[in-house]
Amino acid sequence: MKRTTTMLTAVALATAAGGVSAEEMTIVSWGGAYSKSQLKAYHEPYSEKTGVTILNDDSSAEAVAKLRAMNEAGNITWDVVDVVAADAIRLCDEGLAMEIDPDTQLAPAPDGTPASEDFGDLLVSECFIPQIVYSTTFGYRTDMVGDNPPTDICAVFDLETYPGKRSLEKRPINNMEWALLCDGVPKDEVYDVLATDEGQDRALKKLDTIKNSVVWWSAGADTPQLLADGEVVMGSTYNGRLFSVIEEQKQPVAMLWDAQVFDLDGWIIPAGLSEERKQRALDYIMFATDTQRLADQAKYISYGPARASSAPLVGKHAELGIDMAPHMPTDPENAKNTFLYNYEFWADYRDDIDAKFQAWLAQ
């Protein structure tokens, strides 16, 4: 932690001198309950320590396209960007994100364990700093399913038992995997099948069976709102968003954990920043991804921290006072049947399958 203290002291001195840290930095994320958790755990404490004003931009869903455009224009307006792991791999491969040395540019664990060991296998790209383990899963209206609540992912495709609208994200990721699972493809063969044109067509054909009953969402807050309004009987979104609508808003909604898709979310720093902006971004990253800060985020949202040293520090919700461990996607009771997201597959196939999926949506 010595390096963190040194860097923050330097930033504080620069603030007093009217240096770069007195300026603004733009941090891009996903909005809603997730951005609120970052605001409380990271942004506010960092601003208080350094005097840096943090501007929030909720454009993470479009991060790859926007960073490509910024790079072409030679005008990078973002300082730190929250992305899913597959997008981080793409951005790194394209030279749009800077590489990070975890053991010199991230804080060690409190016992001195290097960051590379503390994050371990979650360091899936040289440009990616993991923040949370989350899942995409389904919530459903308890008052709209009668005495037969869904327990299986394939309930999403069962319009007879569960009539009504369902909400799905307006992209192929996860939807294609669930479609193949519910069309009889074994879990360990899903990505082999999805790598073929025939497999992609098979997934879209399965999605065709519910297409007219789907409300397509783009923002993580959409499904919780649709569920709260009773406009859908079930819908996919991030488990932390469902935690918010269930535990904080007390809506008649429950979780369907079956075949939840585990994923990672974290930070990248765009390539091409000025030296001053790069150093400020690195300073923020070191602060925001230390052991205590990652544990602090779990006080506000039910995502598991990405550092091994953070897990024992996860306690109760900051406002509700409830134990957060049972609400994590990694809880053994919730993780009985998980689906593991394949980062490399989507980094390689995303653009092509995206084009096919959007063409299918337009039909």
pLDDT tens digits for range 289-300 = 999 999 999 999
Q: Alpha helices, DSSP H only, in the chain? A: 2-16, 32-38, 44-50, 63-73, 85-93, 102-105, 115-119, 175-181, 190-194, 197-208, 222-228, 239-243, 275-288, 291-297, 343-362
Per-residue pLDDT of the chain (363 residues; tens, 9 = 90+): 333 333 333 333 333 333 334 489 999 999 888 899 999 999 999 999 999 999 999 999 899 999 999 999 999 999 999 999 989 999 999 999 999 999 999 999 999 999 999 999 889 999 999 999 899 999 999 999 989 999 999 999 999 999 999 999 999 999 999 999 999 999 999 999 999 999 999 999 999 999 999 999 998 889 999 999 999 999 999 998 999 899 999 999 999 999 999 889 999 999 999 999 999 999 999 999 999 999 999 999 999 899 989 988 888 998 999 999 888 887 878 888 989 889 889 888 999 999 999 999 999
Euclidean distance between CA atoms 24 and 63, whole angstroms: 20
- pLDDT, residue 9, reads 34
State the number of CA atoms in the 13 A half-sphere of 118 facing the CB: 27
- pLDDT, residue 46, reads 97
The answer to whether the CB of 88 falls within 8 A of the CB of 271 is no
3-state secondary structure of 83: strand
Model confidence pTM above 0.85: no
